Amino acid sequence: MSADPSSASLSGLLDTFRPSDRTLIRAVMQTSEGEQIVYSAVRAFVDGWEGAETLDDYSIFRIGAWLHRNATARLRAALLGWSAVQDTPAWTALFSGLAGDSELVAVRPQVAVSGAGASEQQLLLALRRTHEDDEPIGADLVR
């Protein structure tokens, strides 16, 4: 892997998800630019599963659970916001892992319904208002 990882190269690391891959992903997401790269990589990885003949939802859930424990609050919130409004098995698996043991899993259907048709930016702003005590979510995580 080059010293300047891309979202495509990180998406490939999510496929294997070895301890060394996790160490590199953890290092990359420590900067604002790195958060954006990891955000794009996770989206590309999960989107790639959408077209697959079979779905390895446990692996996707496991990556979400790891991100729940290791990602920055901003990155977790951005991925939770995006996955909450995606009504597909792969995104549901990621959301379940990202949410951990929180009450978010129970409210996901309401978020998805209220978020239907909303842009990702609108959803993240709504999450920011909902969690004003949390670390702010930057619009720079949204493409």
The model's pLDDT over 42-86, given as tens digits with 9 standing for 90+, comes to: 999 999 998 788 999 999 999 999 999 999 988 988 898 888 888
* H helix runs in the chain, sequence order: 7-16, 19-28, 32-50, 57-70, 73-84, 89-99, 104-115, 120-130
What number is the average pLDDT over the span 19-37? 94
46 burial via Cβ count (<10 Å: 0-12, 13-18, 19+) = buried
pTM higher than 0.75 for the full model?
no
Ranking 4-13, 28-37, 64-73, 104-113 by mean pLDDT, the lowest is 104-113
The model's pLDDT over 14-24, given as tens digits with 9 standing for 90+, comes to: 999 999 999 99
Whole-number Å distance between alpha carbons of 1 and 16? 14
SS3 140: helix
**Domain map (residue ranges) of the chain:** 7-135
Tell me the percentage of the chain whose pLDDT exceeds 90: 42
What pLDDT does residue 23 have? Answer: 96
What number is the average pLDDT over the span 79-98? 88
What pLDDT does residue 5 have? Answer: 80
